[in-house]
Structure 1
Amino acid sequence: MKTSAKIFLAAIVAVGAAGGYFLYRSRIYGINTIRVIDFINHPEKHADWMVKAGSRCNNAPFQIPVDGFIGYLWDDSWQIGQRHQGIDIFSGKQPGETEIHAAYDGYLTRLPDWKSTVIIRIPDDPIEPGRQIWTYYTHMATKEGTSLVDQAFPPGTQDVFVKAGTVLGRMGNFSGTPGNPTGVHLHFSIVRDDGNGNFKNELEIKNTIDPSPYFGFNLNKNNQKDEIPGCR
């Protein structure tokens, strides 16, 4: 076989393999999107899918921060090349109706330009003692960008101690671009420390941690067997 023919055949095989892989990923990862849409449209039909704010799973250190359905998991995806850095919990309600609570004791910061976000420093990781981690909460604003973060934490708040269960704000649908809303949900992630007392960039999954052991049940998409996430 000529070299050019071999190259062409190899390209065909590569394209076929890639296509099969992406079809597989689309099927696997599409399950959660179907469920999210169904829950948003008919939350009253899926009360058994919901987790409860303040609840804990067995001896897990973190409590659930909000009432709702955990629609997307850590390392989930809804488009090629995208990897989700945390979990998304949907309430099935309107913006401003669902309280969001701290999952664990720590020190809260809200940067001056954060409309919908707070981050909480946990000096001693309960899963790996001795390291510092951060818990990140966002989408606490209306679609126009009106903040729903609790008034106790105005922009510029720095390292204020909060207990687990403290109300941080209310669930919204702000995407970061006014007038271009997301679904009403909380995005929660666990962010790594940079070793100098600062949080790393939450937008990169390598800077976040699988939240499963902190909540006591599977929240890692790679381990999902089509089950509804929760302590069951």
Structure 2
Amino acid sequence: MSDHTLQVTDLIKTYNAGKPNEVRVLQGVSLAVKPGEVVALVAPSGAGKSTLLHIAGLLDTPDSGMVQIAGTDMTHLSDRKRTAVRRSTVGFIYQFHHLLPEFTALENIILPQLANGVAEKAAQARAMGLLDHVGIAERASHRPAALSGGEQQRVAFCRALANEPSLLLADEPTGNLDPETSDRVFDTLIGLVRDTGLAAVIATHNLELAARMDRQVRLNGGILETS
């Protein structure tokens, strides 16, 4: 069994291969993240950080290289098995919350649990517990349109943790918020990660936020550099 929750090795990903506009986004990228570790992935827009997160989270496949989660090689799983692993093991957070507008905050957190086979009563209890943990339990019955930007992103955090993943991948999770709200929401996210002990990779171009994580890696020209 590996000591790392996530381990990617020698990832190569090229778009438009063999064409004049070929872009080699990842050039032999390797990264290992332990349980309870928060890693900042620093890179400007268009540098490939979303591609790396999508491959690590089994939403995309590399041209070559390996993705291991909890010591198991996930690189060549079928689409059905990859989906099953994502549901139970990986939590995603994006810059935009992507909440379902017709459902309440509580329902947005319950639904992924139901899809993963959790009983409704247990799903509701966990959803309320998560909302209480991030300080917005009183907003449980509100739809996203009635929530502030910071509240919406807190609900998105709860949704990402609903199925108790061991790996959290976040792509500019506070990039759509004003600086004050961003700072407050980031503290909430880090608190959730610390309390649950999961491994996290958080992509950001905010160097102040990156400095508050356990370590930083930088994606530069398709190469991953350790700060």
- Normalising by structure 1, report the TM-score: 0.27
Structure with higher strand content:
2
Point out the structure with max Rg over C-alpha: 1
Highest RCO, 1 vs 2 (Cα 8 Å, sep ≥ 6): 2
